[in-house]
Structures are given as structure tokens and as C-alpha cells.
Structure 1
Amino acid sequence: MDLLTSIILSVIILISIMVLITVIWWIMTSNNFKRTSIKISEALSGIEVALTKRYDMLTKLLDVAKGYTSHEKTLFMETITLRKGMSVSEINDADNQINTMASRINAIAEAYPELRSSDVFCELQAGIRDAEEHLQAARRLYNSIVTQYNTTMAVFPSSIVANFQKLTPVDFFKTEEWKKADVKIQF
């Protein structure tokens, strides 16, 4: 083998190795996006489960509330519909509606002191607190995974794969504006 053939063969091998490494990196990056997307769906499902649990507890609490008209209960049931495949903003809207429902139930409980001392009512309130904790944990997990996904998508060189696959950033769960406001305590 002469020197020229040896150089050409070395260049071909080097280019082949570089192409192979690039293809492997591309596949690994693409698979990472797919895995993270699946984790996002799983975390979103966790939020839906926690919302459903909280909704069910509030519904039971609503049944326990004395003097509550069936008309208002029906109105709640119709306005708050949790369904599979909801977008993040739709889930946020459902969460806001459930929060409104919880506030109204608490207002009813204030009007009936004997209701607040009921064992069933207290157990349901504890269940709602537990559901709230699960919901907060699910939101934190979801936002953490979304941060990882969006960051990977924005950072070079994985942004090349993201742009080629036309991936878009995923929305975060946002806190309601009134919950972000500073609490003023007056004595």
C-alpha cells in the first residue's frame, strides 16, 4: 500500500467514525427527549389523579354539609369536569374551579358549627389536606421535569435535534395570582 492510499483510507475511517459518533449522539438525544416527554405525561397524570382525589373528597364533604341545596351541588358538578387529555391550562382552570368549590364549602361549614365538629367532616378535611399535599408534590415534580425538558431543548447542541424535530417548550403549572400576593397581617 502506498502512502496516498493509506492517507485516504485513514481519512475515510476517521470520517466514518465521526459520522457514527454523530448518529449515535443524535439517537441518544432524540431518545432523551422522548423519555422526558413520557415523564412529563406521567407527571401530568399524577396531577390529574391528585385533582380527582381532591375533587372526590370535596364532593363527599359537600354531601355532608347540612342545608346545602342540591341545585348548588349540581352546579358544581357541571362546572368542574375533570377529563383525561386536558391541557395544562385546562387543568389549571379546573383546579381554580375546585378551589372556588372548597372556599364555598368552608363558608357553609362556618355557618354550621355542629358540622365542623362532625367526625366525618373532620376526616374528609384531613383527606383534602392530604390530597392538597399530593397535588403540590405532583406539581413540583411536573415543573421539575418540564424545566429539565425545556432546558435541554434550549441548550446547544441538543437544540439542533429539538429544532429539527420541531419540539416546542412545555408550559409550567402556574400559581394563581392571588396566591402570590403578600399576606398582610394586622393586629
Structure 2
Amino acid sequence: MLAVLVVLAVLVVVAVWAVATYNGLVRLRNLVQEAWRQIDVELHRRHALVPALVETVKGYAAQEREVFDDVTRARAAAAGGGVGPAQQAETENALSGALSRLFAVAENYPQLRSSENFADLQAELTNTEDRIAAGRRFYNANVRQLNTRIESFPPNVVANAFSFSRAEYFEANDPAVRAVPSVHFTAGEAPGPAAAVDGGGQGGGLDPRRDA
């Protein structure tokens, strides 16, 4: 009888441990998914800003068609969706590179650089990049915790039994393309033509002062 009780006690302990481990894995998986949704919101905000930015630059530098085409293609690839965090990071890196070239073009047009609409769009894009970077750190921290739990023994026994899988990190391969390049403004430069910053254009619906 004593042996039976010992066996039952061991089984109860194992069952309680297994349930607690399973629930912990579910909680970590949900945290990863929630963190990714937060990044996704900011990525959509970034993708929405790009067309308005391109149209604003076009108003002053229409001849830079190749740069505009590169940004448009990169934006379309990044906004396509339906991919995992690792592949999304690759498309976002490509978009960052294209935006870097767009801002390099802007440096050659003083009226564009002094345009209020261009400055507002750049500020909003920079703020969005900062939120994406913060979200990336939070997401990757949760991914690391989940993956460590899945790979550690004995939790990996429960993870394998219930098909928990490793989550993908969201990382930029080249740190140089993570941030939006700074565009320097000169106080004496005249503002650009109003037609290029007209609120009825593609950038009209964007409010750079909206809440994050």
C-alpha cells in the first residue's frame, strides 16, 4: 500500500509539474505573439508613410525616377505580409536601404529640405523607427526566453509532446540601415513650393503629431 501511495504521489507531482510547464510555455508563446503584433502595427505605420514621403520628394526632384522606383518596390515587398519575422526583417532592411538613398537625394535639394511637410514626414518616420526598435528589443527578449525554455531539459519534454516550436528573431542584418538618415536644415533656406506639400496629396491624411 505504501508503495502504491508513493507512486501516486510521484505521478501527482509529475502531473502538476507538466501542467505548470505547459501553461508557462503557452504564456511565453502568447507574449511573443503579442509583441510581434505590436511591431506589425508600427511596420504598417512605416509602410503608410513611405508613399507620402516619395510624393513629397517627387515635387522637387521628379527626375530621380530610379530612386523612387527602388523605394516603391521595396515598400511593396515589405508591405506584402504573410511572412515570418526573419523574412520580414530582410524586406524591412531592403526598404531601409532604399529610404537611405531617398534621403541622400533630398540632401541635394535645399528647398525640399526646408519644406515643412518633408520635415514632418521625416520626424514621423524617425519616431516610427524608434518605436519599431523598442518593439524589436521587447519581442526578441520574449523569443529568447521562449526558445531557451523549449530547448532546456526537462521542459523540452513537454514542449516536444505538445509541438511547441522555436520562434524567429526579428533582427536587422546591417545596423547601418536601421535608422532613418538625418537631413540637415539650414535656417536661411526658403520653404519649398506649396504644391508639393498640399494636404490633398497622398501625404495629406498623415498627422505627424498623432499619438503613438
Task: Report TM bin, short chain.
Answer: 0.7 to 0.9
Equivalent in the alignment of 2:16: 24
CA distance in 2, matches of 1:71, 1:179: 24
TM-score (norm 1): 0.80
Q: SS of the residue aligned with 1:111? A: coil
TM, length-normalised to structure 2:
0.72
Residue 115 (structure 1) aligned with residue 112 (structure 2)? yes
Choose between structure 1 and 2: higher helix proportion.
1
Q: CA separation in 1, counterparts of 2:172 and 2:71?
A: 22
CA pair 38-166 structure 1, distance change in 2 beyond 3 A:
same
C-alpha RMSD of the superposition: 2.3
Is the Cα contact below 8 Å between 1:47 and 1:135 reproduced in 2?
Answer: yes
Number of equivalences: 172
Which of the numbers 164, 169, 176 marks the counterpart of 1:167? 164
- Deviation at residue 85 of structure 1 after TM alignment: 3.5
1:171 Cα offset (Å): 2.4
1:3-18 matched pairs, under 5 angstroms: 8=1, 10-18=2-10
Say if 2:69 is the partner of 1:77: no
Q: Tell me the amino acid that sits aligned with residue 54 of structure 1.
A: R
Larger Rg: 1
Q: Does 1:48 pair with 2:73?
A: no
Residues 112 and 118, structure 2, Cα contact 8 Å, conserved in 1: yes
Unaligned segments of structure 2, at least 5 residues: 178-212
Q: For residues 27-66 of structure 1, give each alpha carbon's deviation from its aligned partner in whole angstroms, at most 9, with x where no partner exists.
A: 2211221221122122122222222212222321111112
Which sits farther off after the overlay, 54-63 or 74-83? 74-83
Identity rate, percent: 26
Q: How far does residue 71 in structure 1 lie from its aligned partner after superposition?
A: 5.9
CA drift at 1:105: 1.7
Q: Assess if the C-alpha contact under 8 Å between 1:55 and 1:98 holds in 2.
A: no
Name structure 1 gaps, 5 residues minimum: 1-7, 181-187
> Structure 1 pair 84/32, CA: closer, same or farther in 2 (3 Å)?
farther
